[in-house]
Amino acid sequence: MEARYYEGEVHAFHAFIWRAAARRCWQEMFAFLAEAGRTSAADYGARPPVPLAHES
């Protein structure tokens, strides 16, 4: 079993995809699903995140 915590983030922060932590969360969820053999990010039409200007 694995648990991830995103310190300092608000409830449902993963919906705010412009936040770096939200994008990291989604990447980690898709990686978990792929590792479990359930699906891949491509099945959901996911694309790699585009860095925000201040993250470059």
pLDDT digits (tens, 9 = 90+) for 7-40: 999 999 999 989 999 999 998 988 887 787 766 5
pTM of the full structure: 0.62
Tell me which of 54 and 37 has the higher pLDDT.
37
Query: Tokens standing for 37?
Result: 């053999």
- What does the alpha-carbon distance between residue 23 and residue 19 come to, in Å, rounded to a whole number? 7
- CA 36, 20, 13, 46 dihedral sign is negative
Q: Residue 37, Cβ neighbours under 10 Å: how many?
A: 7
Query: What are the residues whose beta carbons fall under 8 Å from the beta carbon of 36, sequence distance 6 or more?
Result: none
